[in-house]
Structure 1
Amino acid sequence: MTTTIGTDRAQVREELSTTTFDLLVIGGGILGTSVTWMAAQAGLRVAMVDAGDFAGATSSASSKLVHGGLRYLQTGNVKLVAENHRERRALAADIAPHLVKPLTFLVPIYKGGPHGAAKLGAGVFLYSALSVFGDGMGKVITPNQAVAKVPALRTEGLRGAAVYGDHQMNDSRVAVMTVRAAVDAGATVLNHAEVVDLRKTNGTVCGAELRDRLDGTEFGVSARLVLNATGPWVDHLRRMEDPDAAPSIRLSKGAHLVLRRHEPWKAALTTPIDKYRVSFAIPWEDHLLLGTTDEEYVGDPADVRPTEADIAQILDEAGHSVRDTQLRHEDITYAFAGLRVLPGGPEDVTAAKRETVLTMGSGGMLSVAGGKWTTYRHIGKHVFDILAHLPDRPLGDDLVTPLPAVPLPGLASPDAVAMRLWTDRERDARMDPLVARHLATHYGSIAFDLARMIREDPSLGERIHPDGPDIWAQAVYARDHEWAATVDDIVRRRTTLTVRGLDTPEVRAKIAELLA
């Protein structure tokens, strides 16, 4: 197995166990990865570990949206929408235009529906104004115009549709590129490394004892400061610090479905279910993404998964606006669920605010939970600022302020990358345009590294499964450069094989052989 510095697990474990870090981040999801990136930019010696894969839980189980939050206008939170739009524009224009893509949304207006045309028209106009009309002007269109954009739209009782613009992404790819950005800035990271205990000196948390889940190796990490960013497991780690720690969060499960799409969609659907809840139907990875549910979850976070009741609810709610022919159970290729981390409280989870929860424990460990992809950089910077200026444990006066517009690796125009891949004259044969487009929109300019691998070994240009665009160069690159250590790391989060329903036993066996 060929490896590079930063992905050789034994080498990384040695570095982790022999270095005293300024900051140890436990948890490699949205928040942990963002804080690690910011801390490394600031010049700190920072380490990040995760018991599973990076973004392996809730952070790769999102609705794949980078959005301003149209529904927040319903509650009058105009300031929040404006802030979300600013961050969305930064991601789409300066940080990750190769990974964050514009997408038109329709809100269908039906006779007897919870919202009328005048209200929705005013709402999407205000929404687009808050984004400085960067995605066009929100407006109401006719039923015929709506069906032209979404052929599977249900037309019975359709009075029109409100149109607005937002963005979408592949959350797993954004996560991997953020980890890479953190490592490029100097961070040391390791996935599949479980914290089994916290290190303490005179009652103060100063590191952690870990076990490599892949080979059982035990090792420790020492740090001046420890951040608990374990998402749904945040209270589990807080109880390692203090067995009497009171619960700080509660959990809400959100499930999604991915289905084969029978015809092209030029827009997504945001369908009001009642006065507050909506159902999404989003063209994504050549398929259709449906969701989501919102119900309290009290079980083991590791056991969260969609139930048959979740699947039935999602299909039923999508059926408010999508024709039955596009909602057949046999077209489901993948179903997944994640857990939203909400502040503790008595109210129903559907009414709870999606806000970041910060707590300082008796041992000086800062715990943080919550957040969302749209504002993940902003929240990471906010948490880092708190860490950097703790009055009793300052990290130093010579810190560099993290730059606000550092792009993720691979920054490039996907159109330009795809065209160059397709027309590269150094190869004996042109790359399949579908594969070229797939690589360009998932790697940006890093796709040229994969193209060089294919020139050296043409077999790496072959598709992993004939029905999908993922190629063997991606699996090798994931192993050698993107910390992919298990079959699931590759099929679920470094490629699109699982979401397309293409991670067959034969495919998984070949990838296991590649990793062996």
Structure 2
Amino acid sequence: MSPSSALGPDARTDALAALAATSGGDADLDVLVVGGGIVGAGTALDAVTRGLSTALVEQRDLASGTSSRSSKLVHGGLRYLEMLDFGLVREALQERGLLFTRLAPHLVRPVPFLYPLHHTWERPYVGAGLALYDAMAMAGTYDMGVPKHRHLFRRQVARMAPDLRTDELTGAIRYYDCSVDDARLVATIARTARSHGAHVTTRTKVVGFLREGERVVGARVRDLEDGREIEVRARVVINAAGVWTDEIQELVGGRGALNVQASKGIHLVVPRDRIRSEAGFITRTATSVLFVIPWGRHWIIGTTDTPWDLDKAHPAASRRDIEYVLDNVNAILREPLDHDDVEGVYAGLRPLLTGESEPTSRISREHTVVTPVPGLVLIAGGKLTTYRVMAKDAIDAAAHSLSTTGGAVRECITDRVPLVGAEGFEARGNQRVALARRSGLHVARIDHLLGRYGDLVDEVLALIADRPELGQPLTGCEDYLAAEVVYAVSHEGARHLDDVLTRRTRISIETFDRGCAAAGPAAALMAGVLGWDERRTAEEVDHYLRRVEAERQSQEKLTDQEADEARVRAADIV
């Protein structure tokens, strides 16, 4: 019987015990992955499905860094065509089709975008680029999965997007990419790795490496929940720590095989009714590209692309950043948005490989894998869409060390391993009315759950069947059910209130109060699973409220330095 995919408290305890068991030297892991973002989770899945004993450690929460703060797009990267980065675009489009049609159809969905045209000469130029974009997608190994682009004239654009300024437009071109809840994708990949036998543990920080001569033979990790340190022996350690790559390199002796620069991108979330349009928008700005992305009952608007060398755990959006995005989106809207329209703000850091003095907006998103010392593989760069390719390259790079001590490493098969929730998704979609009738939930609620859990909806509905009160909306945020909070802890590895309100759900950016009203009710639901007493529950709520206040204060500051100083006043809870 294959292991469960659940990442609850018991699974974490078991994972830590498995890590500790390696310290005797008789049960070394094949692969220890450091970093629980999209690349780390993907690497763990690649390794374990090749038959390698695998563990993943993450110092905070799954997707707590870059991988929960992206533009939430699975896309080819249209602007990289202009940079003549055809290989990256082709690769990303293939992965987009694979994710949408085979690996994660329950999480990835097509999104229409309008590319506004201001001059007559733009139509053939942009049209040729989009024709190439579609051609690359159709020529790939996997199905394109989305409709082809279409030329629109001004009147058609006005009907489709009444709030888009069309007075200076000659028309637009509609094309399709895909969107995804990035944090949910990471958690789902990690759970898939767990279902195939990988050990996954969060709040577990690498504090040093084990060495035998020049060779890395494992890592020393600290359980941040209780302070205990464990020596974990592994034949290969793969670092997928993103913007923390330099810190990991220092731990291994300061040999800087990779130079990773952090680039900050911020996004705003506004209610869907603030912009009337059937499609999103993409347009150029002076220093980056502006996306206006449909996101359920909201729009996500971004992004910026500026260097960041301050606190990496909590990058802060300044007032200047927010006004930059508002100014650029207002340039294309009939009715301008202002600060009062903004429900949520989030800032993330892209790990960009550097080596030349060029603006971060011009640095390629291609990735690099290096082996600076025997037994250690570093991977950095890349983008969310191509995580699977990055993971494959990391394990391929580790294969030499692994094959010298344990036979040949098998080929990557992750293009044929659907993520948990995918296999029965279509069937459950056909049964949505029956599921609604049986559970007592509205069909719209079933659709919401299917789009988040796929065929794992059965597990969520089982919680509601056992405890009918969990079928009620979460107090403070009616878009989510109480059961989803409990499920986040019992099955998805959430350990703290911030994990639930920021990543397992998106309450922290989808409500004007940033989730403050939901904090108490959510913490009370979590307490029942994690065994918190009243004091601990109150501490979790207090920390979350202080974090929200620190973010609000940072977003009033003009400079990055001031914003950072305001944000770091609310430290991580331990």
TM-score using structure 1 length: 0.92
CA distance in 2, matches of 1:97, 1:304: 31
**1:125 and 1:139 in contact (8 A); partners too:** no
User: What is the aligned partner in structure 2 of residue 283 from structure 1?
Assistant: 294
CA distance in 1, matches of 2:80, 2:436: 50
Distance 1:5 1:228, change over 3 A: closer
CA distance in 1, matches of 2:417, 2:450: 20
User: What is the aligned partner in structure 2 of residue 22 from structure 1?
Assistant: 30
The yes-or-no answer on 1:366 pairing with 2:366 is: no
User: What is the aligned partner in structure 1 of residue 251 from structure 2?
Assistant: 240
Distance 1:154 1:465, change over 3 A: farther
**1:108 and 1:162 in contact (8 A); partners too:** yes
User: What is the aligned partner in structure 2 of residue 110 from structure 1?
Assistant: 118
User: What is the aligned partner in structure 1 of residue 94 from structure 2?
Assistant: 86
The yes-or-no answer on 1:270 pairing with 2:273 is: no
CA distance in 1, matches of 2:371, 2:166: 53
User: What is the aligned partner in structure 2 of residue 161 from structure 1?
Assistant: 172
Which residue, out of 324, 327, 334, partners 1:323?
334
CA distance in 1, matches of 2:276, 2:444: 15
The yes-or-no answer on 1:353 pairing with 2:356 is: no
The yes-or-no answer on 1:54 pairing with 2:62 is: yes
How far did 1:426 drift? 6.1
How far did 1:394 drift? 5.3
The yes-or-no answer on 1:449 pairing with 2:459 is: yes
The yes-or-no answer on 1:332 pairing with 2:342 is: yes
Number of residue equivalences: 509
Distance 1:476 1:139, change over 3 A: same
Could you tell which deviates more after superposition, 381-390 or 234-243?
A: 381-390
CA distance in 2, matches of 1:246, 1:40: 26
How far did 1:108 drift? 0.7
**1:305 and 1:337 in contact (8 A); partners too:** yes
User: What is the aligned partner in structure 1 of residue 504 from structure 2?
Assistant: 494
CA distance in 2, matches of 1:215, 1:422: 46
Counterpart of 1:22 in 2: which secondary structure? strand
- Map 1:389-468 → 2, pairs under 5 A: 389-390=400-401, 395-397=406-408, 399=410, 401-411=412-422, 417-418=428-429, 420-424=431-435, 427=438, 429=440, 431-465=441-475, 467-468=477-478
Distance 1:270 1:496, change over 3 A: same
The yes-or-no answer on 1:472 pairing with 2:478 is: no
**2:210 and 2:216 in contact (8 A); partners too:** yes
Distance 1:344 1:199, change over 3 A: same
How far did 1:5 drift? 7.3
User: What is the aligned partner in structure 1 of residue 77 from structure 2?
Assistant: 69
- Map 1:221-240 → 2, pairs under 5 A: 221-240=232-251
Which residue, out of 126, 140, 144, partners 2:132?
126
CA distance in 2, matches of 1:472, 1:88: 32
Counterpart of 1:98 in 2: which secondary structure? coil
The yes-or-no answer on 1:504 pairing with 2:523 is: no
User: What is the aligned partner in structure 2 of residue 40 from structure 1?
Assistant: 48
Distance 1:509 1:288, change over 3 A: same
Counterpart of 1:10 in 2: which secondary structure? helix
The yes-or-no answer on 1:187 pairing with 2:205 is: no
Could you tell which deviates more after superposition, 369-378 or 382-391?
A: 382-391
Could you tell which deviates more after superposition, 69-78 or 219-228?
A: 69-78
How far did 1:414 drift? 5.9
How far did 1:298 drift? 1.5
Question: 5+ residue gaps in structure 1?
Answer: none
CA distance in 1, matches of 2:306, 2:82: 20
User: What is the aligned partner in structure 2 of residue 173 from structure 1?
Assistant: 184
CA distance in 1, matches of 2:244, 2:404: 25
Q: Deviations over 1:190-222 (max 9, x none)?
A: 011111222222242222222222232322211
Q: Deviations over 1:283-337 (max 9, x none)?
A: 1131010111111112231231211111111111112323334x22112121111
How far did 1:267 drift? 1.1
CA distance in 1, matches of 2:353, 2:468: 52
CA distance in 2, matches of 1:254, 1:75: 20
Q: Deviations over 1:457-516 (max 9, x none)?
A: 111111114653211111111111111101111111111212212653342122223232
Task: Tell me the amino acid that sits aligned with residue 289 of structure 1.
Answer: I
User: What is the aligned partner in structure 1 of residue 546 from structure 2?
Assistant: none
Q: Deviations over 1:125-178 (max 9, x none)?
A: 222222227533323201222233323212231210011111111111111110
How far did 1:409 drift? 0.6
Distance 1:124 1:400, change over 3 A: closer
CA distance in 1, matches of 2:187, 2:249: 27
Question: 5+ residue gaps in structure 2?
Answer: 23-27, 139-143, 533-574
Task: Tell me the amino acid that sits aligned with residue 249 of structure 1.
Answer: V
CA distance in 1, matches of 2:487, 2:180: 20
How far did 1:421 drift? 3.9
Task: Tell me the amino acid that sits aligned with residue 499 of structure 1.
Answer: I
Task: Tell me the amino acid that sits aligned with residue 210 of structure 1.
Answer: V
Counterpart of 2:281 in 1: which secondary structure? strand
Q: Deviations over 1:436-475 (max 9, x none)?
A: 2211111111112211221221111111146532111111
**2:33 and 2:54 in contact (8 A); partners too:** yes
Counterpart of 2:480 in 1: which secondary structure? coil
CA distance in 2, matches of 1:63, 1:5: 26
How far did 1:388 drift? 1.0
CA distance in 1, matches of 2:33, 2:436: 45
**2:263 and 2:352 in contact (8 A); partners too:** yes
Distance 1:96 1:428, change over 3 A: closer
Task: Tell me the amino acid that sits aligned with residue 291 of structure 2.
Answer: F
User: What is the aligned partner in structure 1 of residue 309 from structure 2?
Assistant: 298
Counterpart of 1:237 in 2: which secondary structure? helix
Percent identical pairs in the alignment equals 34
Task: Tell me the amino acid that sits aligned with residue 173 of structure 1.
Answer: R
**1:98 and 1:413 in contact (8 A); partners too:** no
Task: Tell me the amino acid that sits aligned with residue 242 of structure 1.
Answer: G
**1:128 and 1:135 in contact (8 A); partners too:** no
CA distance in 1, matches of 2:424, 2:304: 34
Counterpart of 2:133 in 1: which secondary structure? helix
Distance 1:392 1:177, change over 3 A: closer
TM-score using structure 2 length: 0.83
User: What is the aligned partner in structure 2 of residue 206 from structure 1?
Assistant: 217
Distance 1:379 1:454, change over 3 A: same
CA distance in 2, matches of 1:4, 1:83: 31
**1:285 and 1:496 in contact (8 A); partners too:** no
Distance 1:151 1:5, change over 3 A: closer
User: What is the aligned partner in structure 1 of residue 230 from structure 2?
Assistant: 219
Counterpart of 1:303 in 2: which secondary structure? coil
The yes-or-no answer on 1:10 pairing with 2:13 is: yes
CA distance in 1, matches of 2:255, 2:190: 33
